[in-house]
Amino acid sequence: MKRLIIASTSTLYNGNYLDYILPELNSFFKDVKTLLFIPFARPGGISHNDYTSKVQEAFNTINIKVEGLHTKTNIPEAILDAEAIFTGGGNTFVLLNNLYSNNCIEALQKAINNGTPYLGTSAGSNICGQNIKTTNDMPIIYPPSFEALKLINFNINPHYLDPNPNSEHMGETRETRIQEFHTQNKIPVIGLREGSWLEVKDSSIILKGKLPARIFEKDKMPYEIETESRIKF
């Protein structure tokens, strides 16, 4: 059974890394002893080792050992052998480029579709969709393709921000950017606000967290869905 948690973020404002979702992860990763962490997104240019150490510190609280994928000799084999997998946030273009260059795409698809539990936050959530064209990140590197893992039949926009009517910022809003995406693409997009996540169990996808999500479909007005809503396109 395919099982994923696709989260908007790893850290809430004034919170510690993953602490808002750790109770959920404690249940989600029940009986998991060792977690394979994919540090390739490198937020702020952090090293793979330092990023893995940060994740280990969080997972210490639920007694799970973390191993960095970058330490493995045979990376695709390590993915297929993993008890569970977590891909952290950072730059989605850097992440996807590393996944392609290390031959991870097919291994991840096979492992997750065969039931290996998967957690993604931010960039690690972006790659669950059909492609990464709705990321908020700068394209600082050009991956071989924008095509992603296709584990769900829509795209994610993590860290979704609502328009602020009092803002003096003159740039495009997040909603405008997604509407621009739909001038060239038909794929639905879910704007995930901070602290929200999607719980995926095979074909069942449910919005979790305290906040509603904003749904964008081509040629339709954006609309809201409440937490605990089932999502199906």
What is the model's pLDDT at position 169?
Answer: 67
Q: Tell me the HSE value of 223 on the side-chain side, using a 13 A CA sphere.
A: 10
Helix (H, G, I), strand (E, B) or coil at 200: strand
pLDDT of residue 162: 87
Q: List, for residues 125-147, the tens digit of each pLDDT value.
A: 999 999 999 999 999 999 999 99
Q: Is 137 a catalytic residue?
A: yes
- Supply the pLDDT for residue 166: 74
Q: What is the pTM of this model?
A: 0.96
Choosing from 137, 167, 182, 196, the catalytic residue is: 137
Rounded Cα distance between 141 and 84, Å, is 28
Domains, the chain, with CATH or none: 3-225 (3.40.50.880)
For residue 19, indicate whether it is catalytic: no
Among residues 48, 159, 182, 229, the one annotated as catalytic is 159
Whether residue 159 lies in the annotated active site: yes
DSSP β-bridge partners for residue 204: 201
pLDDT tens for 145-186 read 999 999 999 999 999 998 777 766 656 899 999 999 999 999
Identified catalytic residue from 8, 122, 125, 196: 122
Cα gap 139→152, rounded to integer Å: 23
